[in-house]
Amino acid sequence: METALPQLHTFTVDDDADGLSSGNGNGIVEIGETIEIEVALENNTQISALLLRAELSSTHPEIVIVQSEVVFPSLPPATTLTSSEPFVVRIPASFFRHHLVLRLKVEGPNSLTLYDSLRIPISR
C-alpha cells in the first residue's frame, strides 16, 4: 500500500471577537486572549491522504486548548487544504513567556504521522 505524507504548509492566527476567538482583532496574540488557529496541510505525494485527524497540544501547562482536534476529510495529491474548523487556544493573563509553542500531530489510515510545532509570539 502506498503511503501519503501530509506536511504543515502554514497556519494563521485569528484574535478577533468573532466565532470562538476573543481578542482585540489587531492580529497580534496577547495574554488574556482566546485565539483561533487555522492550519493548512499540503500533500506532495501522488495519492490522497484520507481521513486526516489533527491534534494540537501545548508544551505549557497553563495554556488551555479549548478545541484540540480538527479533521481533514481528504487531502488530494499535490494540493494544499485548510482545516474546516480552527483550533482554539486560551492564553491566560498570567502567561509570562514571549512565545507560545504548540505541538501538532496529524495522522490518517494511509499516511505517515506528521509531528510539527507552531511557534507563536506573545505580546504584552
Across the chain, which has 124 residues, the per-10-residue mean pLDDT values are: 89 95 95 97 94 94 96 92 94 93 95 95 89
Residue 11: C-alpha distances to residues 76, 80, 81 (Å): 19, 12, 11
pLDDT at 124: 75
At 104, list the grid cell.
501538532
Residue 23 three-state SS? coil
pLDDT at 27: 93
- What's the alpha-carbon Rg for the chain, to the nearest Å? 15
Task: Give the CA diameter of the chain.
Answer: 50
- Cα separation, 9 vs 43, in Å, equals 9
pLDDT at 1: 64
Residue with cell 500533500: 43
98-115: pLDDT as tens digits: 999 999 999 999 999 999
User: pTM of whole model > 0.85?
Assistant: yes
> Can you name the CATH fold of 6-121?
Immunoglobulin-like (2.60.40)
Residue 20 three-state SS? coil
Residue spans of the domains in the chain: they are 6-121
pLDDT at 2: 80
